[in-house]
């Protein structure tokens, strides 16, 4: 059951990004992103290295390194940019990192149960006991073919690249967020793990209200997880949008044709050219 905005029955836009400009270290990265994600939709974002995909995901999650210079983001009818990162998580925003961080000394069990109970508390629910949590975690670990001893290990420490990625999906499955931002969760996975991750994502999609933004370099994951919309980011802008066929075309033809067609260059540095010293 959703707790907020149950009074609005209109066509549900979960996330509305309007003319978003973001910088880091005084360098402009995102240069006017417009994107609407409706409840239940999956949007794939593709684009060359350095085009700003992770910046978009991290800015939405509230990462402190990213400065919002201009624009608005509305999430479930609220001003997302007003909320601290914690509050965004409490409101159901989840980011699976491109490079999951290792936290030595904090077990996955402690981390995840604390995160889950913090979200539950913020939404007026009782905390989950250790026993209840373990039961839930076991079920989700099993679905993702991850061993139970992962709960006892320090978060991501010594996990293989693929285990870290599967672990992000495990965390998402436990936390049951409403807006899932998945940043290259398919990168570095072997063929079987890719299928497992795709199944995990598809299970989460069974909830009709849940929305996903999936950043990827590869069309392959989109064969398993069918996107409603595909966007191409170039130079901090969404240069082109389409359906799944756009991803297939990119796989075949790369990005040059979009640069030529739109006049947008692939990195902000290139695009700003003479303006920057
Ligand atoms: N915290 C930061 N400080 C300075 N520059 C940054 C910061 N974060 C990102 N950038 C720069 O912004 C640009 C976009 O980076 P971003 O990580 O968003 O790209 P990306 O599209 O996710 O690329 P990739 O496909 O390689 O993951 C890059 O030139 C990057 O060096
Ligand atoms: Mg990235």
The tens digit of pLDDT for each residue in 110-119 reads 999 999 999 9
Cβ(270) – ligand 1 distance below 6 Å: no
pLDDT band at 235 (very low <50, low <70, confident <90, very high): very high
User: Mind listing the pLDDT tens digit for each residue in 16-56?
Assistant: 999 999 999 999 999 999 999 999 999 999 999 999 999 99
Instruction: For residue 56, report the distance from its CA to the centre of ligand 2, in Å.
Output: 9
Q: What pLDDT does residue 12 have?
A: 82
Instruction: State which of 29, 98, 232, 276 you would mutate to test the pocket of ligand 1, scoring each by most atoms of that ligand within 8 A of its C-beta.
Output: 29
Percent of the chain with pLDDT over 70: 92
- Give the integer Cα–Cα distance in Å for 137 and 143: 10
The residue whose CA has the least distance to atom 26 of ligand 1 is: 49
Atom of ligand 1 nearest to the CA of 233: 21
* 144 and 172 Cβ atoms separated by less than 8 Å: no
The encoded tokens of residue 20 equal: 């978003």
Among the bound ligands, the one closest to the CA of 64: 1
Cβ(54) – ligand 1 distance below 6 Å: yes
Instruction: State which of 28, 53, 214, 269 you would mutate to test the pocket of ligand 1, scoring each by most atoms of that ligand within 8 A of its C-beta.
Output: 53
Query: Under 8 Å CB-to-CB from 180, ≥6 apart: which residues?
Result: 94, 96, 172, 204, 210, 211, 212, 213
pLDDT band at 269 (very low <50, low <70, confident <90, very high): low
Instruction: For residue 3, report the distance from its CA to the centre of ligand 2, in Å.
Output: 32
* CA 139 and chain centroid, separation: 23
Cβ(50) – ligand 1 distance below 6 Å: yes
Is the per-residue pLDDT at 268 higher than 70? no
Atom of ligand 1 nearest to the CA of 58: 18
The encoded tokens of residue 171 equal: 């965390």
- Give the integer Cα–Cα distance in Å for 57 and 163: 21
User: Mind listing the pLDDT tens digit for each residue in 97-135?
Assistant: 999 999 999 999 999 999 999 999 999 999 999 999 999
Cβ(51) – ligand 1 distance below 6 Å: yes
For 9, the 3-state DSSP assignment is coil
| Domains contained in the chain, CATH given | 13-275 (3.40.50.300)
């Amino acid at each position: 059951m959703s707790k907020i905005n149950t009074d609005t029955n209109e066509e549900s836009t979960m996330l509305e990004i309007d003319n978003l400009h973001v910088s880091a270290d005084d360098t402009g990265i995102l240069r006017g992103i417009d994107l609407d994600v409706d409840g239940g939709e999956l949007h794939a974002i593709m684009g060359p290295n350095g085009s700003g995909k992770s910046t978009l995901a991290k800015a939405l999650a509230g990462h402190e390194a990213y400065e919002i210079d201009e624009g608005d983001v509305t999430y479930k009818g609220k001003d997302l940019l007003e909320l601290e990162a914690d509050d965004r998580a409490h409101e159901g925003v989840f980011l699976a990192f491109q490079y999951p961080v290792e936290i030595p000394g904090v077990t996955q069990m402690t981390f995840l149960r604390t995160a889950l109970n913090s979200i539950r508390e913020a939404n007026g629910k009782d905390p989950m006991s250790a026993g209840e949590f373990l039961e839930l975690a076991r079920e989700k670990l099993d679905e993702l073919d991850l061993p139970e001893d992962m709960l006892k290990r320090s978060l991501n420490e010594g996990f293989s690249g693929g285990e870290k990625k599967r672990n992000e999906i495990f965390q998402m499955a436990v936390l049951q967020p409403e807006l899932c931002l998945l940043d290259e969760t398919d990168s570095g996975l072997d063929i079987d793990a890719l299928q497992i991750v795709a199944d995990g994502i598809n299970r989460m999609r069974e909830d009709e209200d849940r929305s996903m933004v999936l950043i990827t370099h590869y069309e392959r994951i989109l064969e398993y997880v069918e996107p409603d919309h595909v966007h191409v980011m170039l130079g901090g802008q969404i240069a082109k949008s389409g359906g799944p066929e756009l991803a297939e075309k990119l796989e075949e033809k790369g990005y040059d044709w979009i640069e030529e067609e739109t006049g947008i260059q692939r990195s902000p540095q290139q695009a700003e050219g003479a303006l920057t010293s």
